[in-house]
C-alpha cells in the first residue's frame, strides 16, 4: 500500500516519556496513518534503545489534511477546519481514554504507551506486537466462523 503525505522516514516525534523515530509505514485510511517506529530515547531521554519497537497512529484526514513544506506539520484549509476539528477532538479523547484504560488491562490488549501532540496533530503510541494480524488471518483463511469470532471477542471482553 502506498502512503500518501506520510511523515518521512527518520522523522522524530517527541513524547513526554520517550522520543520516537519513524522507521516505516503500516497502513493509511481516511482518518490517519499508521507508522512503525523505534524508541530513540526513553525515560530520562538519554541513549538509543533499538530494542523497543512501537506503532504510532497519526491523526491525518486524508481528504482534508495537508502536510506543510517541512514534510511534518499538518494543517487544514480554513473551510474544512470545523469538520476536521470535530474529528480531531474525538481522536484525542479516544486516544487518551485508551491510554488510561490500558494502564489497568492485562493480556490481550495492546498497551497504549502515550499520546503525543506535535506537528499540529496528535499521535498515539502503542507497543509493537509480533505476529499475524486478524486481517492477515482472514486474508489467508477466509471469513471467521462463528466459533472463531466468539473466541476472539471473548479474549477482548476478558481484557
Placement of cell 477546519 in the chain = 81
CA pair distance 141, 29, nearest whole angstrom? 24
pTM for this entry = 0.80
Collapsed DSSP state (helix, strand, coil) of residue 127 = strand
Phi-psi region of 2 (alpha: psi -120 to 50; beta: other; left: phi over 0): beta
| Residue 112 pLDDT grade (very low, low, confident, very high; cuts 50, 70, 90) | confident
Least confident of 44-48, 66-70, 93-97, 149-153: 44-48
Convert the pLDDT of each residue in 52-64 to its tens digit: 899 999 999 999 9
Beta bridge partners of 14: 19
> For 91-103, what is the mean pLDDT?
83
Residue among 123, 120, 121 at smallest CA distance from 37: 123
| Residue 2 pLDDT grade (very low, low, confident, very high; cuts 50, 70, 90) | confident
Residue 145 predicted with pLDDT over 70 = yes
Tallying the residues shown for the chain, one arrives at: 159
Convert the pLDDT of each residue in 62-86 to its tens digit: 999 999 999 999 999 999 999 999 9
Q: Within 13 Å of residue 149, how many CA atoms lie on the same side as its CB?
A: 6
Which is more confident, 157 or 67?
A: 67
CA pair distance 61, 76, nearest whole angstrom? 9
For residue 131, give the DSSP letter: S
Amino acid at each position: 500500500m502506498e502512503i500518501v503525505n506520510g511523515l518521512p522516514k527518520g522523522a522524530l516525534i517527541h513524547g513526554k516519556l520517550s522520543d520516537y523515530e519513524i522507521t516505516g509505514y503500516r497502513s493509511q485510511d481516511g482518518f490517519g496513518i499508521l507508522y512503525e517506529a523505534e524508541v530513540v530515547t526513553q525515560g530520562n531521554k538519554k541513549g538509543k534503545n533499538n530494542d523497543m519497537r512501537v506503532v504510532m497512529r497519526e491523526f491525518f484526514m486524508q481528504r482534508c489534511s495537508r502536510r506543510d513544506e517541512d514534510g511534518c506539520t499538518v494543517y487544514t484549509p480554513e473551510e474544512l477546519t470545523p469538520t476536521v476539528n470535530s474529528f480531531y477532538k474525538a481522536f484525542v479523547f479516544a486516544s487518551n481514554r485508551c491510554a488510561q484504560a490500558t494502564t489497568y488491562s492485562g493480556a490481550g490488549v495492546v498497551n497504549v504507551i502515550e499520546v503525543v501532540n506535535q506537528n499540529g496533530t496528535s499521535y498515539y503510541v502503542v507497543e509493537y506486537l509480533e505476529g499475524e494480524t486478524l486481517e492477515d488471518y482472514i486474508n489467508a483463511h477466509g471469513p471467521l466462523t462463528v466459533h472463531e469470532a466468539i473466541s476472539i471477542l471473548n479474549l477482548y471482553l476478558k481484557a
